[in-house]
């Protein structure tokens, strides 16, 4: 059996690739890997996808048969909550049934070792070897299953990473929260209400089909209902989390989508202005505005490949203020080494309370001071002919021009980034979780971004 882990676990189409038997084979390999590293305890949970709760319960029973103390969530649970539980309870790792923002037909397994962040290549490589060998753990009699409330301790601990007094001193905070029919419902909204906010929840009930969303990612395309609700209700802010609540989406007081590029730049500016310091870590696909803001405050910036396992590794080293990526994932350096959409939503609300104005107004001031960049992403189905063209003409050669512009520099940290001038670049990479080619573009003009994206798409054989 061949199973390969991507940038954030193993995922596949339910019944076709992701089957019960294959999932249990992965669980068996994880059990052996944990035993090899000296651990015999595990946190187990899942999101609201099809069969995630049933798989989590079955996994707990299976791990108990192998001698593990298996702490299994009593309800659907956000990925960052499991990460926190693992660290707080000093467990050996996490088995999490989730496909994050992938389409509803997908499910997956995310394994995190004892530090609570994404597993590195040593762990995933060994797990893949064990799966291929059909390895089965030895059964033992001293295991147990413990149904656990992971959420309450997490919501108490999250106070360490926000300023509770800022919320308490706010005149009024009205928020619309789109839970995307996922695990964040009853978590983010519960905390906002506890902090004194008035919250309207959209899509708060479990729905494995994500209320008809074909691609349940909290980006601009999927947040039109949230935008309309913010405008209709006169809310201060709109926030969203994806199915496992590790990614965030933000809508300002005018119902306008705030990109992760802009939000993280705002957040770093806020953290620095309120006395926080440390290194800012971002993925290569994240925009340059973050760099300008960080450097203006004397903060070092480090760029990593795509995937929170790289950002989480930097958090584990220490000295990090913020780590984030363009796909809507961030964490603070003093928090878990895993992206946390719940924390992101709380920090967005905190900024509104602190400055006593909306994020749209704050962004206008930020752009006036630092300039504005437009960052876009185009996802293309990865057909064999396109993959062959990209590999031969981009990954294996030095391209001289792109979209009619000369290439001044090439960066190969992840995929291929073609630097066209000081403010304009394009990056092409292959998705680690889906059969997609992604085109990322930055320039000072939305029209130029669209022109470059369409030009490259046509070059790859897509009209």
pLDDT digits (tens, 9 = 90+) for 439-449: 999 999 999 99
What pLDDT was estimated at residue 463? 53
Task: Quote the CA–CA distance of 327 and 249 in Å, as a whole number.
Answer: 9
- For the chain, helix, strand, coil in percent to 5 are 40, 25, 40
Task: State mean pLDDT over 416-424.
Answer: 91
Going by pLDDT thresholds of 50, 70 and 90, the confidence category of residue 28 is very high
What pLDDT was estimated at residue 57? 98
Supply the Cα-derived Rg of the chain in whole angstroms: 22
Distances (CA, A) of 89 to 30, 154, 183, 406: 19, 11, 21, 54
Q: Note whether 175 and 95 are within 8 A (CB).
A: no
Q: Note whether 403 and 349 are within 8 A (CB).
A: no
* DSSP conformation class of 99: -
| Higher-pLDDT residue of 435, 193 | 193
Task: State mean pLDDT over 333-343.
Answer: 97
pLDDT tens-place string over residues 293-330: 999 999 999 999 998 999 999 999 999 999 999 999 99
Going by pLDDT thresholds of 50, 70 and 90, the confidence category of residue 68 is very high
Task: Quote the CA–CA distance of 292 and 273 in Å, as a whole number.
Answer: 15
Task: Quote the CA–CA distance of 66 and 73 in Å, as a whole number.
Answer: 19
Angle between helices 341-355 and 260-273 (to 10 degrees): 60
**Segments making up each domain of the chain, as ranges:** 10-149, 162-370, 374-459
Task: Quote the CA–CA distance of 307 and 257 in Å, as a whole number.
Answer: 23
On the question of a common fold for 162-370 and 374-459, the answer reads: no
| Higher-pLDDT residue of 385, 287 | 287
Q: What angle do CA 289, 290, 296 make, to 5 degrees?
A: 90
Q: Using DSSP bridges, classify how beta strands 93-97 and 106-113 pair: parallel, antiparallel or unpaired.
A: antiparallel
Task: State mean pLDDT over 405-413.
Answer: 94
Residue at token pair 């933000």: 250
Task: State mean pLDDT over 153-180.
Answer: 96
pLDDT tens-place string over residues 346-396: 999 999 999 999 999 999 999 999 999 999 998 888 888 888 888 888 888
With 90 as the cut, is the pLDDT of residue 460 above it? no
What pLDDT was estimated at residue 255? 98
Q: Of 263, 268, 296, which Cα lies nearest the Cα of 280?
A: 268
* DSSP conformation class of 49: S
What pLDDT was estimated at residue 356? 96
Task: Tell me the pTM.
Answer: 0.94
Residues 6+ apart with CB under 8 A from 204: 179, 181, 185, 186, 189
pLDDT above 70: percentage of residues in the chain: 99
Task: Quote the CA–CA distance of 205 and 217 in Å, as a whole number.
Answer: 17
Residue 461 token pair: 């054989």
What pLDDT was estimated at residue 88? 98
Distances (CA, A) of 127 to 28, 41, 293: 9, 17, 41
What CATH superfamily classification does 10-149 receive? Alpha-D-Glucose-1,6-Bisphosphate, subunit A, domain 3 (3.40.120.10)
What pLDDT was estimated at residue 127? 97
Going by pLDDT thresholds of 50, 70 and 90, the confidence category of residue 397 is confident
With 70 as the cut, is the pLDDT of residue 462 above it? no
DSSP E strands: which ranges in 300-435? 301-304, 320-325, 329-332, 374-381, 401-402, 405-406, 409-411, 416-419, 425-430
pLDDT tens-place string over residues 75-109: 999 999 999 999 999 999 999 999 998 999 999 99
Going by pLDDT thresholds of 50, 70 and 90, the confidence category of residue 215 is confident
What pLDDT was estimated at residue 163? 97
How many residues are given for the chain?
A: 463
Q: Which CATH number, 3.10.450.50, 3.40.120.10, 3.40.50.10680, 3.40.50.970, labels domain 162-370? A: 3.40.120.10
Going by pLDDT thresholds of 50, 70 and 90, the confidence category of residue 198 is very high
pLDDT above 90: percentage of residues in the chain: 85
Task: State mean pLDDT over 334-346.
Answer: 97
Domain 374-459, classified CATH 1.10.3720.10, yes or no? no
* DSSP conformation class of 18: B
């Amino acid at each position: 059996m061949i199973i390969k882990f991507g940038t954030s676990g193993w995922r596949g189409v339910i019944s076709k690739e992701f089957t019960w038997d294959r999932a249990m084979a992965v669980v068996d390999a994880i059990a052996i890997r944990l035993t090899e590293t000296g651990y015999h305890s595990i946190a187990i949970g899942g999101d609201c996808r099809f069969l995630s709760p049933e798989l989590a319960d079955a996994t707990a029973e299976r791990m108990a048969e192998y001698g593990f103390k298996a702490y299994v969530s009593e309800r659907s649970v956000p990925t960052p909550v499991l990460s926190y539980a693992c660290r707080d309870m000093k467990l050996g790792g996490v088995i999490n049934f989730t496909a994050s923002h992938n389409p509803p037909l997908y499910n997956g397994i995310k394994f995190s070792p004892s530090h609570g962040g994404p597993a590195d290549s040593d762990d995933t490589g060994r797990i893949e070897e064990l799966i291929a060998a059909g390895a089965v753990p030895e059964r033992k009699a001293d295991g147990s299953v413990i149904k656990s409330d992971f959420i309450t301790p997490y919501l108490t601990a999250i106070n360490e990473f926000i300023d509770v007094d800022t919320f308490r001193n706010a005149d009024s905070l009205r928020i619309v929260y789109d839970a995307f029919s996922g695990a964040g419902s009853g978590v983010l909204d519960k905390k906002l209400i506890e902090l004194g906010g008035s919250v309207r929840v959209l899509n708060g009930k479990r729905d494995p089909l994500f209320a008809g969303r074909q691609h349940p990612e909290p980006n601009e395309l999927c947040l039109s209902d949230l935008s309309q609700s913010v405008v209709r209700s006169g809310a201060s802010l709109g926030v969203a989390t994806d199915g496992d609540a590790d990614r965030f989406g933000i809508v300002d007081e005018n119902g306008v989508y705030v990109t992760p590029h802009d939000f993280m730049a705002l957040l770093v500016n806020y953290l620095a202005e309120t006395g926080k310091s440390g290194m800012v870590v971002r993925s290569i696909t994240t925009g340059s505005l973050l760099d300008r803001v960080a450097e203006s405050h004397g903060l070092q910036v480090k760029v990593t490949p795509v995937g929170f396992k790289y950002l989480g590794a930097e958090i584990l080293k220490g000295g990090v203020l913020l780590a984030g990526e363009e796909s809507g994932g961030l964490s603070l350096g003093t928090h878990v080494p895993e992206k946390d959409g719940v924390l992101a939503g709380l920090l967005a609300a905190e900024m509104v309370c602190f400055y006593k104005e909306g994020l749209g107004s704050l962004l206008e001031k930020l752009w006036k001071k630092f300039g504005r960049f437009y960052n876009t992403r185009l996802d293309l189905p990865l057909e064999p002919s396109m993959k062959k063209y990209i590999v031969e003409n981009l990954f294996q050669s030095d391209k001289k021009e792109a979209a009619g512009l000369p290439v001044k520099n090439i960066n190969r940290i992840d995929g291929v980034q073609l630097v066209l001038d000081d403010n304009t670049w394009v990056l092409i990479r292959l998705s680690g979780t889906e059969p997609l080619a992604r085109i990322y573009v930055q320039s000072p003009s939305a029209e130029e971004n669209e022109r470059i994206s369409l030009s490259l798409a046509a070059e790859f054989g897509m009209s």
